[in-house]
Amino acid sequence: MKAVINVNSRTYAIYIDQPLDLSIPLRAEKQNVNAWYLDEPRIEPVKTDDWIGSVAQGADVNFNNIYFNPHGHGTHTECVGHITEKTYSINQCLKQFFFVAEVITVVPEKKGEDFVISAKQLRYAIGNKKREAIVIRTLPNTKEKFSAQYSNTNPPYLLEEAAIYLKNKNVKHILIDLPSLDRERDDGLLLAHNAFWNTSGKIRTEATITELIYVPNSVEDGKYILNLQIAPFENDASPSKPILYKLYE
């Protein structure tokens, strides 16, 4: 089904029946993707003295509690409230949901004991293109990313210079298939987060970071329409479902 949408005064055609889902689903099992030293998420029926919220156990409905952390248990979108003393909510910061996005693929470079993404790599991949959102797929790109246990593994991350480059290009939304823009243990510096949100100057409250996505290998690098869907949590972060659509101008 073809649809015509207008984004920032430009008209694009997309096929809404051909979505490209970048989210990793949350599952109540140890094989769920995991970061930040957490136990696995839990999905459990509500239990009272005389009732269990499970049809399989005699109830009329399934009525589950869900215990999870948005930062560590799956695809999530966060706002600057993730790192500020002042409270900012992703539900208040993200007010637009369709963006022109560029998908790029990078191979993190070895730097000391780390693997990193540099400004040079991003500059080469993006060139002079102007995009509101950048979707970063890292190689190798296997389906192990759906069940990766990232704690204590020192995953790849963005150098501060890379985040500054994206900020200076006026990229408002970074989406990446890693657990964080920053090093797993960096003494709380969060250099890339702080640089991208410009916390030392005029804070970019409209900018977001989406982590733990998965970009299928079938999705080619290039220009897309991004529909960034969140749950309406009044919290610094929310589980999210980024959807790409191939566009036709």
Q: What is the distance between the terminal CA atoms of the chain, rounded to a whole angstrom?
A: 16
Q: What is the pLDDT of residue 119?
A: 98
Q: What is the pLDDT of residue 54?
A: 98
Per-residue pLDDT of the chain (249 residues; tens, 9 = 90+): 888 888 878 888 999 999 999 999 999 999 999 999 999 999 999 999 999 999 999 999 999 999 999 999 999 999 999 999 999 999 999 999 999 999 999 999 999 999 999 999 999 999 999 999 999 999 999 999 999 999 999 999 999 999 999 999 999 999 999 999 999 999 999 999 999 999 999 999 999 999 999 999 999 999 999 999 999 999 999 999 999 999 876
Residue 208 CA to residue 90 CA, distance in Å, equals 8
DSSP structure class, residue 52: B
Give Cα separations from 141 to 182, 205, 217, 228, 239 (angstroms).
Answer: 19, 31, 7, 22, 22
Q: Identify the three-state secondary structure at position 106.
A: strand
Q: What is the pLDDT of residue 8?
A: 78
Global pTM value? 0.97
Which sign does the torsion angle of CA 142, 148, 153, 155 carry?
Answer: positive
Q: Identify the three-state secondary structure at position 54.
A: coil
**What domains can be seen in the chain, in order of their start residue?**
17-24+73-248 (3.50.30.50)
Tokens representing residue 196 in the block: 């991208």
Q: What is the pLDDT of residue 10?
A: 84
Burial of 127 (0-12, 13-18, 19+ CB in 10 A): exposed
Tell me the sheet residues that pair with 242. Answer: 228
Q: What is the pLDDT of residue 126?
A: 98
Q: Residue 168 is inside which H or E element, if any?
A: helix 160-168
